[in-house]
Structure 1
């Protein structure tokens, strides 16, 4: 069984679109797609997957997940929002992502908010959570190893993988449910 530090490394969890990756000039859609494909190529599960497509970006625009694009060019703020959408859509519904970003989009489109500063803080938090995740999966592996130690089964590797998959998906569900609860609270706060 692969050790958990190797597993975490193979996931490329620190692969994020940094502010330095985003050019100071506005980009056309094809350039946005190329930027994301280059940056996140290592994070794809299968080589033929697409990180971002024209259809995805058009759907995000139609769904108002980010403020309107002018002259078919995407600003630094658009790229930041697309990056956040890319991260959130793996766990939340598109409607929940929209709800989460609505107020931020409004502030950014009215020049009432410095999005790059928030995004930089977000990236710092991601880096810290990556370290926490790497430590936590190592603890999970140790607990699983203890749990199957008494088994004389020749399938110990399989049992270890099974239990780790079950535990990881369970933890993923906890985090997703917590995020959904926060989205619900955000909606309730807006309604009051």
Structure 2
């Protein structure tokens, strides 16, 4: 690929190195109204937006998540810190999983750890998951470099005018295949652990 592609790679690697999450300490320990929840999510997850006018979370989304049993109902129209943590999980899952799969994934967690006296809280679970994911950033950057190198080696016999476009297509297919396979694995695991009735 050309120097521009190397610039793109470096830009992507830099953005990956800056990936962060809403820390549980940034979520108030008091109950919030829906408008406060949407504002908190909008501010905390704004770096994940593709376009500036994308919405992270709307009132309709929150109501639908509650209606579809993804989110426990609010207490007198107020949402706890635990609600916000579950909403963050939903936000990330909704891009790759169906509503039913998200329910299957979250239900055992919310039933056991949402507003309970268990030794492990929703905050503990959230922080542990975020810590594990944050520790994977270096290996994700290496995987991306490998995918770029693979695509640069593809279509070596094609004329230069078409080569760059086909190599980019190769890279996007490579990354998409990775997402596709991981999605299949997630669905298979969910089906094994919680078979459909």
TM-score (norm 1): 0.90
Deviation (angstroms), 1:110: 5.6
Alignment deviations for residues 142-163 of structure 1 (CA, whole Å, 9 cap, x no partner):
1111223443322333122111
Deviation (angstroms), 1:11: 5.8
Check the 8 A contact 1:145/1:160 in 2, yes or no. yes
- Separation (CA, whole Å) in 1 of partners of 2:124 and 2:83: 14
- Separation (CA, whole Å) in 1 of partners of 2:70 and 2:17: 26
Check the 8 A contact 1:37/1:52 in 2, yes or no. yes
Check the 8 A contact 1:80/1:119 in 2, yes or no. yes
DSSP-derived class of the 2:135 partner: helix
Where in structure 1 are there 5+ consecutive unaligned residues? none
Where in structure 2 are there 5+ consecutive unaligned residues? none
Deviation (angstroms), 1:68: 2.1
Partner of 2:22: 17
Partner of 2:178: 171
> Aligned ranges for residues 111-130 of structure 1 at < 5 Å?
111=116, 112=118, 113-130=120-137
Task: Identify the match of residue 152 of structure 2 among 145, 149, 152.
Answer: 145
- Separation (CA, whole Å) in 1 of partners of 2:160 and 2:100: 46
> Aligned ranges for residues 37-186 of structure 1 at < 5 Å?
37-109=42-114, 111=116, 112=118, 113-186=120-193
Partner of 2:41: 36
- Larger mean CA deviation between 66-75 and 96-105 belongs to 66-75
Aligned alpha-carbon RMSD (Å): 2.0
- Separation (CA, whole Å) in 1 of partners of 2:125 and 2:62: 22
- Separation (CA, whole Å) in 2 of partners of 1:159 and 1:62: 45
Alignment deviations for residues 104-138 of structure 1 (CA, whole Å, 9 cap, x no partner):
11112461341111111100111123322211011
- Separation (CA, whole Å) in 2 of partners of 1:30 and 1:73: 10
Check the 8 A contact 1:17/1:39 in 2, yes or no. yes
DSSP-derived class of the 1:25 partner: coil
